[in-house]
Structure 1
Amino acid sequence: MEAKKASESLSVTSVHVLPNDTNNHGTFFGGKLMMHVDNIAAIAATRHARSLVVTASIDSVDFLRPIHAGSAVCLEAFVTWAHHTSMEVFVKIVEENLRTGARHLCTTCFLTFVALDNAGKPQPVPGVVPESEEERFLFDSAEDRYLRRKNRRKDTKTFIDKLTLEKPWRN
């Protein structure tokens, strides 16, 4: 399977932040933002794999700047690295004040997607060829993130098993 350029998966969208999208502080609901993040990342992963994909994980998201009502939020996503059947997708979230044109990076995050065949089973994905400095930086550090996610997943399974066994309403 031939590797693909990271730029081939690039997906970009903008969302106008309206009052019904905000909390009592007049800033974008985090959950609504995460819906858009997952959606744009899924498009990037699908472009890379050219198959069905499913979200396997979302790394931590630190909201560094609020996104205000009346602004636009621009989301950019692309596949940074691929393992056998999984892909790491990087998402950059930028707020734009539509009246002044000022733009600020609000947060970034990584998501992991798994490619699926028509039977719903994991299938191989192409490798990634980074070209830009940013793509190379993300590609070069991806395997470390992959190993941290793998350990976190193992810890989560152990944690869930303990919780499930101690719940009196479960048999």
Structure 2
Amino acid sequence: MLRTIEESQITITQLMLPSHSNFSGKIHGGFILGLMDQIAFACASKHSRNYCVTASVNKVDFLNPIEVGELVTLKASVNYTGKTSMVIGVRIESENIQTGEKKHCNSSYFTMVAKDENGKNVPVPGIILDTKNKVRRFARSIARQEQAKNRTTAFRTSEFKMELYLDSLKDQNAKIELTEN
């Protein structure tokens, strides 16, 4: 079964309140992460028509602070479908309701897995890629998966070769004082 990406896209907008702020008066990153996880869940569940769980989150960069009183819009879309998993792209923009100025605050990628009523992984519908941009997002998700596999292999305890990294540590804010191997 295949579905269009548009069938499961979700957009939510929420006013940022003082209760969402941190000690510096900006909106707390943890609150934004919670909203991101909720919209990724909603998008994945809508696409798969199953309960979904978050398997991983790829790269969360807070690009611009969000102020109390701004509107925050979160947009979620299925970028990739595997057998039982989906990559959901989440984009966040804030808007100053007095000036109309909009800021891109974050983009992130959530890998969500579809589950049945017994908690077992279930197949998800594929997606129809009908634009160059959709093909680009799908291909980019595959590339991110490959990069993640390579990262985890190189830094496994059994595979790690410290000598390969000593030069890169020289100009860092750290001092190596090994007491054991």
Q: TM-score range by the shorter chain?
A: 0.7 to 0.9
* TM-score, length basis structure 2: 0.80
Give the conservation status (yes or no) of the 8 Å contact 1:81–1:139.
Answer: yes
Alignment correspondent of 2:31? 32
Paired positions, count: 158
The normalised TM-score by structure 1 is 0.84
- Shift in alpha-carbon separation, 1:74–1:88, aligned structure 2, 3 A: same
Deviation at 1:48, TM superposition (A): 0.8
Q: How far did residue 147 of structure 1 move? A: 2.3
CA RMSD between the two structures = 2.0
- Give the number of the structure whose alpha-carbon radius of gyration is greater: 2
Deviations 1:1-54 (A, max 9, x none): x11111111011011111111112221100000000000010000011001111
**Residue number in structure 2 paired with 1:59:** 58
Distance 1:158 1:93, change over 3 A: farther
Instruction: Determine the structure 2 residue equivalent to 1:4.
Output: 3
Mark the CA change 1:156 to 1:27 in structure 2 (over 3 Å): closer, same or farther.
farther
Q: Offset at 1:152?
A: 5.2
Residue 154 of structure 1 and its aligned partner are, at CA, apart by 6.4
Q: Is the 8 A contact 1:53 1:116 kept in 2?
A: yes
**Cα shift at 1:129:** 1.5
More deviation in 144-153 or 101-110?
144-153
Aligned positions of 1:93-108 closer than 5 A: 93-108=92-107
Aligned partner letter, 2:33: M
- Tell me, which stretches of 5 or more residues in structure 1 are unaligned? 160-171
Task: Identify unmatched segments of 5+ residues in structure 2.
Answer: 159-181
Match of residue 47 from structure 2: 48
Supply the distance in 2 between the matched residues of 1:120 and 1:154 (Cα, whole angstroms): 29
Percent pairwise identity: 35
